[in-house]
Amino acid sequence: MATLRPAALLATGAILLGACGGGGPSSASSASPAPSAASASAASSAPAKLTIFAAGTLVNPFKDIDSAFMKKYPNVTVEAQFGGSVKMVKQITELGQKADVVGVAGYTVIPKYLIDGSKKYTDWYVGFVSNAITFVYTDKSKGASGITPQNWYTVLSQPGVRVGRSNPDTDPSGYATLQMLKLAESYYHQPGLSDAILSNAPKTYMRDTETELIGALQAGEIDYLAIYRSDAKQHGFKFLDLPSDIDLSDAAKAAAYKTVTVHTANGDLVGQPIVYALSVPDDAPQRAWALRWMQFALGADGQGAMSKAGFNVISPAIAQPLDKTPDQLRSLVKQWP
């Protein structure tokens, strides 16, 4: 069995630059929202550091958004940390760290840990993009020459195939993969499909985030990697175009997704569409700037960066609940369906 490289928490520190739902994807207006008290305060030239905790799959688009934001507001330094969504929010709830913006790959992470826990850190969130679970591979992957969207589960369950995945206890991609495999059992009428594939995906091939295993896939240390479709597109990997009945991409199929439940160290999790969400904690040190950043991320510049990175943009974004969403964001969102 090959030994993989040690895992490392993805992190980026943005530097100061120059001047300055179930909606589906649709075109969005590029008009900026009207100035507000918070945004007026944010317009001051006093130096400020904005801290973002976000899912590992958001690294590339958030780098683009942060760079453009700092170019527009040169007095602001954006410092972003990336990792498994559950792990990132637990830096707030268990380690007492402060974040101005939180971005998670599974929207249910916010209500579970930041709203309904023993302490409330926020009372709203906004869904802004959707995604899908797939498997990526290379020409060196075992069975690659014959794999198709119709027979993939037989290939991935063959003896000797090595499958990488993220930890379902720390990352939405990890438990979404388990949910997808459960849905596949019913869709293809193949009892035991999930267990057969997971037998080729032991903890040796598991990391806190699936993006930490990209190097292992490229080096031939694993054959297949369960990953978000956005990452597959960003890295130019071959990937399986799985049916929307199982890939968790279609909010209209939420009822069908809910028919499966998977078990994690953090409790049982019911299948849900993959919707990424943002929020600003109540105790955010730079709340005014955080809301200005969210305006920017939900606007034309942010939507462009997310679309370029392979995400499906939800426009307008969807807020839950709308009446508790800050006034500064109201023109950019609608009520969560």
DSSP label of 167: -
pLDDT reading at 2 higher than 60: no
Q: Provide the pLDDT for residue 40.
A: 43
Bigger pLDDT: 220 or 6? 220
Spatial neighbors of 272 by CB under 8 A, at least 6 apart, are 106, 107, 108, 179, 248, 254, 257, 258
pLDDT reading at 334 higher than 80: yes
Mean local confidence (pLDDT), 284-300? 98
Bigger pLDDT: 32 or 336? 336
Bigger pLDDT: 231 or 3? 231
- Where exactly are the structural domains of the chain? 11-130+275-335, 133-270
Residue 249 near residue 274, CB atoms below 8 Å:
yes
Look up the pTM and report it: 0.77
**Does the CA dihedral 23-25-26-28 come out positive or negative?**
positive
Residue 245, both tokens: 């009945």
In whole angstroms, give the CA distance from residue 167 to residue 317: 28
Q: Tell me the residue type at 67.
A: S
**Least-confidence region, from 39-53, 190-204, 304-318:** 39-53
DSSP label of 239: E
Residue 60, both tokens: 């590339």
| pLDDT tens digits, one per residue of 211-221 | 899 999 999 99
Q: Provide the pLDDT for residue 81.
A: 97
| pLDDT tens digits, one per residue of 123-165 | 999 999 999 999 999 999 999 999 999 999 999 999 999 999 9
Q: Provide the pLDDT for residue 44.
A: 62
In whole angstroms, give the CA distance from residue 226 to residue 161: 13
| pLDDT tens digits, one per residue of 61-106 | 999 999 999 999 999 999 999 998 999 999 999 999 999 999 999 9
pLDDT reading at 14 higher than 80: no
**Least-confidence region, from 27-31, 104-108, 198-202:** 27-31
| pLDDT tens digits, one per residue of 236-261 | 999 999 999 999 998 889 999 999 99
Q: Tell me if domain 11-130+275-335 and domain 133-270 are identical in fold.
A: yes
What architecture does CATH give domain 11-130+275-335?
Answer: 3-Layer(aba) Sandwich (3.40)
Q: How many other β-carbons are positioned within 10 Å of the β-carbon of residue 308?
A: 13
* Alpha-carbon radius of gyration of the chain: 20
DSSP string, 173-205: HHHHHHHHHHHHHHHTT-TTHHHHHHTTS-GGG
At the top level of CATH, the class of 133-270 is alpha beta
